Amino acid sequence: MFLITTNATLKRNGALVMGRGIARQARDRFPGLDAALGKQILTVCGDQGVYSLLVSPRWPKARLGAFQVKRHYSQPASLELIRHSTAALCIWCADHPDAQVALNFPGIGNGRLCREVVLPIVMQLPNQVTIWEYPPAGREKRQ
């Protein structure tokens, strides 16, 4: 499963705000994803609520989900939400031990948190979760 870090802010049309980072890339690659996630969020917790982890209702055919790091898109990522989302993902993984999960490093980048602050939280995730990240701008490896 491929998880993207997201918020819980809904637009007037009910679609999830997905304007930056991996969320924007996913929105652009999968038309209608913002509306589908917005519908799930509205059902689970409402605008700017806490959902922690959303997995496509079409799992395992659709292997996409959302890992909440913010309530409002303009806020910095929340360590509390990352803890909740990490706990929810641990439970999901225990129920799906054969599933492989890819997750961009939560809370850094547009989340504005330091990697070192988030790392102890996500280190609790099981080995079936791969966390990836791009190097900071200007620090790309040259070959």
Buried b (16+ CB within 10 A) or exposed e, 92-116: bbeeeeeeebebbbbbbbbbebeee
Two structure tokens written together for 139: 């620090």
**Ordered strands of the 101-104 beta sheet:** 53-55, 64-68, 2-6, 101-104, 129-132
Contact 89, 51 (CB under 8 A): no
**Bridge partners for 134 per DSSP:** none
Q: Which of 13, 102, 5, 93 is nearest to 51 (CA)?
A: 5
**Residue 71 and residue 131: Cα distance in Å, rounded?**
22
Percentage, residues of the chain above pLDDT 70: 94
For 14-37, write each residue's pLDDT tens digit: 999 999 999 999 999 999 999 999
Kindly give the pairing relationship between strand 64-68 and strand 53-55: antiparallel
Provide the pLDDT for residue 135.
67
Boundaries of every domain in the chain: 2-132
Provide the pLDDT for residue 20.
95
Answer whether residue 139 shows pLDDT above 80. no
Is-above-0.75 flag for pTM? yes
Provide the pLDDT for residue 134.
74
More confident residue, 135 or 133: 133
- Which CATH number is 2-132's, of 3.50.50.60, 3.40.50.300, 3.40.220.10, 3.40.50.2000? 3.40.220.10
Answer whether residue 45 shows pLDDT above 70. yes
Two structure tokens written together for 23: 């969320």
Answer whether residue 84 shows pLDDT above 90. yes
More confident residue, 7 or 133: 7
